Amino acid sequence: MTTVRREAFGRMPPEEGGGEVEKFVLQSDSVRVEILSFGCIITTLETKDRDGQFSDVVLGFDTLEGYTRKHPFFGAVVGRVANRIANGRFSLDGKEYQLFLNNGPNSLHGGAKGFDKVLWSPQVLPNGVRFSRLSPDGEEGYPGDLKVWVTYTLSGRELAINYQAQTSKTTPISLTNHAYFNLAGQGSRDVYDHEISIEADSYLPVDDTKIPTGEVAAVQGTGFDLRQPVELGKHLQKFHLDGFDHNFCLRQGHDRRLVARVFHPPTGRTMEVHTTQPGIQFYTGNNLDGSLKGKGAATYPKHSAFCLETQNWPDAVNKPHFPNVLLHPGEEYNHTTWLVFNTA
């Protein structure tokens, strides 16, 4: 049985057009999640440890101001295109499009004002909430009027996130949620004691601006082989890795499949990621530096959280041999990711 509650969370600043931001609280007997109508942001996700104690396992802020200021996409839905597009440029039907460059020479997570920085229209469902908006033709440089729906539903231990979209012109689209997790509880020092596995035989090597080189490389015999669980801290040391910020290539298909699992031995918390998407970006919070004041005055140092962002492959719009990232008029973009929380 899931209960859904809505309450006021704050008002947008006048220069952002004002507007009421609401918070939606979804609660089952084992998971409690809070989501904003601003950026479809997951602000809180509480789940039980093996002793039945609830802890909040996502990074974020106590107030709306934290989310309206610059931050690393904590908990937000990012788009139109998650991840990086090289030089912020792509061509479609002979026309070149230039996007805003907000990540060195590249465009990241939708540009200057992506889906994470706008108000969405909410609709309460029996076991969740559906957010919708129209991204107008030309928004952030992207073509076509894009209608988007993001639906969060909670049943028992499982949080489902469904993304749907329709467009008036051919456009690239790749949506994901950018929650930062620490299964020890947000504000914990690092995620080195977490055990992670990712069901991927290959990954995408990147250049020094984090753009895929185009090679699809086998994980076999490398530090990217996470097919069997590894303890994160020891694994990073063993392979002299500064952290992960890479796309892992998933088995292709539109069916639901288990793609990643994280286990935190001290608390017994586990998180499984199931998805219909072709890729998952594994990011270990390498750019966190302790400068942001988070919930309960916690600071978030480097490697104090991980992200498992289910999405299309980065820069797919410029790499024809990557999975198709284009949505055409008359088609529907429809992907779902499921997060399943348990204890072991």
Which residues carry a binding-site annotation? 83-84, 178-180, 245
**DSSP string of 115-159, one letter each residue:** GGGSB-EEEEETTEEEEEEEE-TTGGG--S-EEEEEEEEEETTEE
CB atoms within 10 A of CB 37: 22
Q: Which of 68, 139, 69 is nearest to 99 (CA)?
A: 139
Beta-carbon contacts of residue 298 (< 8 Å; ≥ 6 apart):
186, 187
Q: Is 178 among the catalytic positions? A: yes
State how far the alpha carbon of 31 is from the alpha carbons of 35, 87, 185, 186, 204, in Å: 13, 41, 14, 15, 34
In this structure, which amino acid lies at residue 183?
Answer: L
Which positions make up the binding site for beta-D-galactose? 83-84, 178-180, 245
Cα angle 54, 262, 26; round to 5: 40
Q: Which residue has the tokens 């934290």?
A: 66
Query: From the centroid of its chain, how far is CA 109?
Result: 10
Beta-carbon contacts of residue 219 (< 8 Å; ≥ 6 apart):
200, 201, 202, 203, 225, 226, 227, 248
Q: Is 274 among the catalytic positions? A: no
Q: What three-state secondary structure class fits 81? A: strand
Point out the catalytic residue in the list 178, 194, 274, 335: 178
Write down the H helix ranges in the chain.
Answer: 64-68, 232-238
**Rounded Cα distance, 161 and 155, in Å:** 12
Q: Which of 68, 65, 23 is nearest to 43 (CA)?
A: 23
Beta-carbon contacts of residue 14 (< 8 Å; ≥ 6 apart):
none
- Mark 110-148 as b/e (b = at least 16 C-beta within 10 Å): bbeebbbbbbbebeeeebbbbbebebeeebbbbbbbbeb
Point out the catalytic residue in the list 46, 195, 309, 335: 309
Active site residues: 178, 309
